[in-house]
Structure formats: C-alpha cells, structure tokens
C-alpha cells in the first residue's frame, strides 16, 4: 500500500494505536445517551456514588475515563482493591472502580464505600450487571450497592458501530469503502472491543501482505475460507483481490473521522 512502511521496525511502530478515551473521541448514540448525560452533568449527581452498568465492550471504560479526567479521579481495577488500601485509593477525592462484580473482595469494598461516604469522596463503579442481581456474602454491602443510582449503557446499535468503525479506520489513516464497513457490521460482535480488534487485525494483515484494506481482505482474514457472502450478492472468492498474488491496489480517499 502506498505510503506504508516495509521495514519491520517501522511496521511494528506503525501498529501502535492505543485506544483514545477523551471526551472528543466518544461517539454518542441512543444506546449510551443516558450514561453520557450523567457523566457530563457531574458534579450535579443525585448522590456522590454512581454505578455504570452494561455489557463488556459497550463503552463503560471510555465513559469512566472521561469522568476521571473531569473529576481528577484515580482509576483502580476492582481486582486490585484489596492491595490498594482504602485511604490510598481515595486520596484524589474521586475514584473509578473498574469491573466490580460478584467475587470482589467484599470486606475491602465495604470498607471503601464506608470511607468514601465519611470523606465525601466521589465514586464511579463500572459493572457488567446491576448489583441488585448479585450474590454477595455481606448483606450490608449488598444493601449499600443496591442503594446507589444505576445508569445503563447498552451495546452499540448498528449506526454507532458503523460510526466507530469509520473513526477507527480514519485514526489509522486507512482508506476503506462502504462494502467493507457493511461486511464488518454484519459479522463482528456489536461491541467497541470487537470493532477495535477487527480494525487492528485488518491493519496488521494489510501491512504484512502489502494489500489495501478491503472487504476481500476482511473475508480472507476474518471470514471462513471459501465462505460465500450472500448478503453482498456474490461469493467472496469472486473478488480478484482474494488472489494472494494480485498486486496491491491503490488506496482510496479515507472516510472523514466521526
């Protein structure tokens, strides 16, 4: 592909695209509107603690990072709660506790919630499912968690997933067409994590094979060998770009960033 590095060192460097979690990088949609509104209205919250609930890949970590930047909060994985210690974890005056779930250190979490309440610390907890449905050993902890306001983040809808794919490709300066976007929409899991993984894989394979990132490459890399593509109206193998010996095609103008 034109303009892409062929040196192995340059190739590895070009693949370093860490996820961007700024407010400007967050794409709003009906699936996350309520959660985004709550993050944006801080510190005007109904309480000093909030639970952000939604499936993996729905954008909870991005929203939590946006709030952490605004509130000056520390971000702590719930799995590390027992090692962090309550006072140290709350020293910034605001804390994001990521991926809280059944099996968490209940004693450490209960003490943390009590200390946060006593100190007036802001808390944002991200969870896969609302705490009301959890099985916990400590009834007082369960009551405390159930009393926290919960805002839901749904998986991205089709329009949001497409916008995310457009932005991820544009961030990597990859020129892609509507056919590839439609193919990916119909086949990858509807989550931000799946979109990032698919784009990263196609970028890597396009570089390795020195081929443009197209639907044909996606079928070759992400689809089953010889898989027909009935939704697109033709077998994937009919595309000449499926021939490994075909010369790389020219890059098209990339889509605008969402």
CATH of the domain at 89: 3.40.50.300
Whether residue 66 is found in the same domain as residue 92: yes
Do residues 129 and 103 make contact, with C-beta atoms less than 8 angstroms apart? Answer: no
Are both 148 and 164 inside the same structural domain? Answer: no
DSSP classification of residue 132: G
Full pLDDT tens readout for the chain, 258 residues: 434 444 444 444 445 566 677 888 899 999 999 999 999 999 999 999 999 999 988 999 999 999 999 999 999 999 999 887 788 899 999 999 999 988 899 999 999 999 999 999 999 999 999 999 999 999 999 999 999 999 999 999 999 999 999 999 999 999 899 999 999 999 999 988 899 999 999 999 999 999 999 999 999 999 853 344 444 444 344 344 444 444 444 343 333 333
Total domains, the chain: 2
CA distance 212 to 221: 13
Q: Is residue 202 part of a domain?
A: yes
Instruction: Give the pLDDT of residue 53.
Output: 97
**Domain edge (last residue) among 101, 131, 152:** 152
- Determine, yes or no, domain membership for 223: yes
213 and 148 in a common domain? no
Sheet holding 94-100, edge to edge: 74-77, 94-100, 122-127, 49-53, 150-152
Find the CATH number of the domain harbouring 175.
1.10.8
In this structure, are 37 and 148 located in the same domain? yes
Which among 69, 74, 94, 73 is positioned nearest to 84, based on CA atoms? 74
Element holding 152 (H helix, E strand): strand 150-152
| Shared domain check, 147 and 40 | yes
Domain annotation covers residue 257 = no
Residues 45 and 137 in one domain: yes
Q: Are residues 40 and 70 in the same domain?
A: yes
Tell whether 142 and 188 lie within a shared domain.
Answer: no
Domain range enclosing 168: 156-242
Say which residues have a Cβ less than 8 Å from residue 114's Cβ, sequence separation at least 6: none
Would residue 167 count as lying in a domain? Answer: yes
Residues β-bridged to residue 96: 75, 124
Of 119, 152, 185, the one marking the end of a domain is 152
DSSP 20-64: --STTTPPP-TTTHHHHHHHHHTT--SSSEEEEE--TTSSHHHHH
| pLDDT at 175 (0 to 100) | 86
Could you tell me if residue 236 is inside a domain? yes
27 with 58: CB under 8 angstroms?
Answer: no
Residues 223 and 172 placed together within one structural domain of the fold:
yes
| Domain shared by 137 and 38, yes or no | yes
In this structure, is the dihedral angle defined by the CA atoms of residues 77, 89, 100 and 136, taken in order, positive or negative? Answer: positive
């Amino acid at each position: 592909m034109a303009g892409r590095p062929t040196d192995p060192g340059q190739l590895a460097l070009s693949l370093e695209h860490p996820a961007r979690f700024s407010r400007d990088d967050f794409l709003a949609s009906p699936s996350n509107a309520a959660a985004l509104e709550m993050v944006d209205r801080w510190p005007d919250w109904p309480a000093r603690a909030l639970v952000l609930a939604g499936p993996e890949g729905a954008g909870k970590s991005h929203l939590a990072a946006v709030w952490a930047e605004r509130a000056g909060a520390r971000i702590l994985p719930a799995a590390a709660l027992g090692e962090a210690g309550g006072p140290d974890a709350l020293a910034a005056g605001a804390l994001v506790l990521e991926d809280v779930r059944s099996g968490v250190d209940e004693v450490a979490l209960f003490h943390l919630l009590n200390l946060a309440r006593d100190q007036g610390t802001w808390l944002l907890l991200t969870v896969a499912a609302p705490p009301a449905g959890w099985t916990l050993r400590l009834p007082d902890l369960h009551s405390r968690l159930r009393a926290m306001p919960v805002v839901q983040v749904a998986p991205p809808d089709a329009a949001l997933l497409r916008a995310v794919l457009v932005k991820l490709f544009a961030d990597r300066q990859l020129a892609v067409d509507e056919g590839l976007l439609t193919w990916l929409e119909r086949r990858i899991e509807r989550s931000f994590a799946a979109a990032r993984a698919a784009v990263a894989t196609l970028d890597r394979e396009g570089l390795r094979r020195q081929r443009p990132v197209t639907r044909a490459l996606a079928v070759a890399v992400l689809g089953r060998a010889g898989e027909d593509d009935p939704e697109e109206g033709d077998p994937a193998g009919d595309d000449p770009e499926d021939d490994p010996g075909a010369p790389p095609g020219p890059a098209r103008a990339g889509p605008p960033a969402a």
